[in-house]
Chains A and B, each alone.
Chain A
C-alpha cells in the first residue's frame, strides 16, 4: 500500500507543474545543427523587441526559450523568425516544468489532447487508384526509355484503362527480346499476356498478384514520410503523423493557429515535371498538349518526362535580378544524371517546367442529383525556355506568380512530393481559448464531483466513509500516475472518464460496507463481520467490474480520438479502483478494527 502511494505520488506529481509557453528553434538543414551562437542571436533579438524571457535552454541541437504568457510567446515567434531567417524552424511549444529529478525516473506529465490544448486534427485519405495509375505511367515511361537504349524496336507503349501496360512490337522476335529484358529488370512485378493481331506482336503487362498491394502500401508510407517532412517544415512541436487503417493518415498539430496555411501546405500536391518541347517531326502519339498556366497559350511537349520534383534534393526560394520570385533547385544524383543526359543532346531546344496540382471540385450527378467531389489534375507550363548549355544538378526556375507561391513550392519540393494525391476526409480545429476553457471546466467538475461524493460517503457511512474517501483519493492519484506513466493522452471525454470513475469507484467500498453491516445485523461479532463482509463482497465486486472492463475494452477497440480517451481512462480507473478497494480499504479497516468492536462512529 505504501509502495502504491509513493508510486502514485511520484508519477502523478509532474501534472502539478503547469507547462510554460515556449518557442523551440531548430535548424532547417539536415547538415547543419543549430549553434549556440544562433540561440544567442534569437535572445538578443527578443531583448531588442522588449520581450521578456524566463529561460533559454540549449541542448546542442535545439534551443528552447520560455515565456510567461501565450501572447508573448506568439509575438516572440515572429521576432525570432524574422531575426534568424528561413534557415531555421521556429515552433510554438509547451515546455513542461517538471523538475529534473522527476524526469530522471521517467515521471512526466500527461499529454493533453487537442480538445484541451487547441490545435488541428486532420484525417486524410490517400487516393490509391491514382497511386497505381501513376506507378503504371512511370513504368511505361521507364520501359520505353529502356527499350530505346537497348535498341529493341517497338511501336508503342500504352497504359490501358484496365490497369495494364500494352506494348506493341514489330514482330515476335523483338517481342521476345523485349520481354526478356523487362523480365530481368522488373522480376516478379508483372504477369505477361501475349497477343498477335493486326500484323503486330503485342504483349500486355499486368501487375502481378500482390504487386498492387505493394504499390498501394508504398504510396501510403511514402505519403506518411512526406507529410512528416512538411509538418516539420511548418514548425509544429510534438506533431502526430500516423497511419490509420489501409489508406488513411491522421495528422494532429497541437497549438496550430493558422489552420488555413497548415491545410494548404499539407494537402498540396504541387509537383514539377520537366519535359522537352516536341520537335515538328515528333510523331503525334509521342506528344502531349499543355496549356500555359498564366497565359492563354499552348505548347506541344514530349510525352516522356525528363525528371520530376521527386528527384529534387534541395530547393530555396529567392528573387532574380528583376525582383521576380524564383526557386533554386538542386537535383539528386540520378535526377542530375538524367537531366545532363537529356540536355546534352538537346542544347538549343526548349524545355518546359510544368506545375501540377490535384484539386477537387463539386459536380452534380445528372442521374441521382447528388453532389459529388470530383478529383482532377490541373497542370500548366510555368516556363518554357531554351536550353543554353548542358544542365547539371543545379538550376533555377522562374515564372511563378508571387513570393508566397515560390516559397511554398520550394517548401514542397524540399519536403518531397506526395506519392499519390490525398484528400481531407475529416478535420477538427479547436481554438486555444476553447481548449483552456475545457481544461477549466473539466477540472471543476472533477473537483466538485469529488468533494460531493466525499461528503455523501461520510454522511452515509461515517467513519468507514472516511476510509472510503482515503481509498478514493489514492485511486485518483494512482489513476493519474498510471496515465502519466503510459503517456496516455488526456482529452475532455477522458476527464469525464475520471469523473465517472470517481462516482463508480466508491461502489466497491459501498458493497463491502453494506455487506459488513448486514453480517453484523445477522449477529456476527465485529471482526468476523468485517472479514466475511470483505470476502463475500469481493466476488460481486470482481464480477461487476470485469463486465464494465469488457465494455471499456470494446469501446477502446472500436473508438477513435475522444471516445478512445474516455474508454482508456475508464479501463484504468476500473483497475485502480479494484486495487484500492480491496487493498487500501481492507488494510486500513483491518488494521484499525480487526481485534476490537467497531465504535459507534465507525459505521
Chain B
C-alpha cells in the first residue's frame, strides 16, 4: 500500500467540529448531572451474587424465593448467558447475605452453582469513590505539568482540554445508557487519559516541529499539514488499538465488558479530539511561531536538509 501524505482540509470543518465538541461536552455534563452515573457495587457498597443455574430459571420465581427469604429489595437480572443470574442486594444487608441467598435458592430446589459473590461495606465504597476521584484529578494534574514542561503552556492546555473532553464524553455515554460504573471502568477511564494524551502529543509534536521548519506563519496551514502528516499514524494506531479492544469487548466476558466498552469509546473519541480539540484550543489561544522560539535540543536534527 503506497500512500501519499493526504491533503485533506481538516481546518475547514473546525468550527463545526468545535460546536459538536462543545455540544457533546455540555450534553454529557447534563446527562451526568441529571441522570447520574449508575455507580457499581465498588462505589456504593452492597452485595452481589452471580449464580449459574442448571437450566434457565424464571426470574420471577427467583425473585419470589428471595422475597420469602427476607430480601424484598433484591434485584434479579440475567447476566450474559440466560442461565447466569445476577442478584444485587442493597447496602443494609450483612456480609453473609450472599451465602444466605445462595442457600435459600438451593433450599427452594434450584440447581445452582455460585460463580461469584461480592460484598462491599459502605465505608469502603465511599473511600474507593474518593480515591478514584483523587486519582483522576492527580492524573490530569501530572499530565498537564509534564506537557507544560516538555512543550509549552498552550499545548498543555490543549492536551488537558482534550482529555477532559474525552473523559466527559465517556462518562456521558455511561450515564445515558445507565451502564455500571465500577472500579474497572474507572481504570479504563484513566487508561483513556493515557491513550488520548498519547495521540495529542504526537499531533502537538508535529505542530511544534512544523511551526519551526515551515516558512509560513499561518497557523491554520501548519495545523492542517501537521494533521495530514500524522494522519496515517493516528489511524493505524487507533485501528490496532480498536481491534484488540473489540476482541476484549466481544470475547473478554461480562466482567470486563464495560471496561472494554469505556476504552473503545475513549479511543474513538480520543482520536477525534487529537485532531480537532487540541488544534482548536491552540488556535483559540492564538498559538504562533513566537511561542516556540526557544530552541531545544532536537533543533539540531530538525535543521538537517
Contacts and interface: CB of A to CB of B under 8 A. Distances in A.
Of A462, A510, A545, A561, chain B has the most CB atoms within 10 Å of the CB of A510
Interface string A465-507: 0000000000000000000000000001101100110111011
Contacts of B124: 123, 425-426
A176 interface: no
Interface string B119-161: 1110110000001101100110011001100100000000000
Interface stretch (A4-12, A340-348, A431-439): A431-439
Interface string B240-270: 1111110110011101100110010000000
Contact of A514 (B123, B131, B230): B230
Interface residues of A, number: 80
Contacts of A462: 1
B99 interface: yes
A270 B116 CA distance: 28
Contacts of A433: 52, 113, 115
B237 interface: yes
A51 interface: no
Interface stretch (A27-35, A277-285, A562-570): A562-570
Contact of B197 (A434, A442, A521, A547): A547
Given A424-B119, A429-B114, A540-B202, A559 B187 contact: yes
B94 interface: yes
Nearest to A120: B117
B4 interface: yes
Interface in A526-546: 532, 535-536, 539-540, 543-546
B224 interface: no
Interface string B193-226: 1110111011001100000000000000000000
Given A510-B233, A547-B143, A558 B304 contact: no
A457 interface: yes
B280 interface: no
Contact of A428 (B5, B116, B132, B135): B116
Nearest to A373: B94
Contacts of A536: 298, 301-302
A518 B184 contact: no
B150 A543 contact: yes
A570 B241 CA distance: 14
B112 to A, nearest CB: 11
Interface residues of B, number: 78
Contact of B198 (A425, A427, A438, A547): A547
A510 B243 CA distance: 15
Contacts of B248: 445, 449, 496, 499-500
A260 B100 CA distance: 10
Contacts of A442: 252-253
B287 interface: no
Given A426-B119, A453-B244, A493-B256, A544 B198 contact: yes
A546 B146 contact: yes
Interface in A38-52: none
Q: Is the interface of B mostly helix, strand, loop or mixed?
A: helix
A456 interface: yes
A551 interface: yes
Interface in A556-583: 557-559, 561-563, 566-567, 570
B229 A518 contact: yes
Nearest to B100: A260
A510 B236 contact: yes
Interface string B47-68: 0001010000000000000000
A511 interface: yes
Contacts of A453: 240, 243-244
A460 interface: yes
Contacts of A362: 92, 94
A541 to B, nearest CB: 9
A65 interface: no
Contacts of A503: 240-245
Interface string A270-298: 00000000000000000000000000000
Contact of A548 (B150, B184, B195, B304): B195
A452 B244 contact: yes
Contact of B139 (A445, A511, A517, A551): A551
B23 interface: no
Contacts of B230: 514
Nearest to A541: B202
B98 interface: yes
Contact of A426 (B91, B115, B121, B150): B121
B69 to A, nearest CB: 16
A552 interface: yes
A145 to B, nearest CB: 39
Interface in A248-279: 259-260, 263
Given A445-B251, A492-B256, A539-B298, A521 B115 contact: no
A429 B118 contact: yes
A244 to B, nearest CB: 11
A264 B240 CA distance: 49
Contact of B236 (A434, A496, A514, A554): A514
A306 B202 CA distance: 74
A431 B201 contact: no
Contacts of B99: 259-260, 263
Contacts of B251: 441, 444-445, 448
B215 to A, nearest CB: 15
B183 interface: yes
Given A263-B96, A460-B1, 4 more contacts: A449-B248, A500-B245, A540-B205, A555-B187
20 contacts: A115-B255, A423-B121, A426-B124, A428-B119, A431-B114, A442-B253, A449-B247, A450-B244, A507-B233, A510-B240, A540-B202, A543-B205, A548-B194, A551-B139, A555-B135, A555-B187, A559-B131, A562-B187, A563-B183, A563-B184
Closest 3 CB pairs of A and B: A449-B244, A425-B121, A503-B244
